[in-house]
Structure 1
Amino acid sequence: MHEMSIALSVVDAITARAREEQAEKVTAIELVAGKLSGVEIESLKFCFSAAVRGTIMEDAELMVTVPLSEGLCEVCGERFAVDGYYTQCPSCGSYKVRIVSGKELSIRSITLE
């Protein structure tokens, strides 16, 4: 379950930022996790709830935004929604499709007090 290591890394990063800002509490955290990032959102939320116990973000609201996954056909230039890495362009039928969004995993914002 790599979601626990991701949750622990997020906690470490936010803790470091909170220290820099001399914050006493983290009240909200927003993550971005694309459908193609390989992260199971519910597992990440569960692991995160365990990882924040006893920290300044224990009561923080966790929001996870899942952006649209998109591909770009390198043959005809069509941009379209994708469900996986290997997909066919709906316009020209080519499999030369580059994933342009949906793989991201990042901390979008944190709210400190």
Structure 2
Amino acid sequence: MHEMSICESILGVLKDQAREQKFDRVKRVCVEIGPFSGVEIEALKFGFNVVMRGSIAEDAILDIIETPAKAWCFSCGKDIVIEQRYDACPDCGSHQLQVTGGEELRIKQLEVN
């Protein structure tokens, strides 16, 4: 389960930011996750609670923003929302799409003391 290592990386970022910005407690972590990121959200929630124990983010709330998968259609030139990587363009039916969003996994916002 690579979600545990993702949570450990998040904790590393939190510690680095705490040193840089001089805070000692994290109350909320807001994370953006795209459907193509390969992250299982329930596993991430579980891992977050486990990894944050005894840290500056113990008892922090994990807010997850699920972003849509987006693509650009080579045929009609439109930006579209897709469900799966190999979907057809809903406007023209073309399969010539360039994925432009949905792979993200990033910390969007922190609430700290």
Q: TM-score, normalised by structure 2?
A: 0.94
Residue correspondence of structure 1 range 1-113 to structure 2 within 5 A? 1-113=1-113
For structure 1, the 5+ residue unaligned runs are none
Give distance in 1, aligned partners of 2:79 and 2:90.
9
Shift of the alpha carbon at 1:94? 1.5
- Give the superposed CA RMSD: 1.0
Amino acid of the structure 1 residue aligned with 2:8: L
Shift of the alpha carbon at 1:15? 1.0
Aligned length: 113
Amino acid of the structure 2 residue aligned with 1:71: A
Give distance in 1, aligned partners of 2:16 and 2:104.
22
Give distance in 1, aligned partners of 2:93 and 2:111.
45
Q: Which runs of 4+ in 1 moved over 6 A?
A: none
The CA deviation string for residues 60-89 of structure 1, in whole angstroms up to 9 with x for no partner, is 111010012112101111222211111111
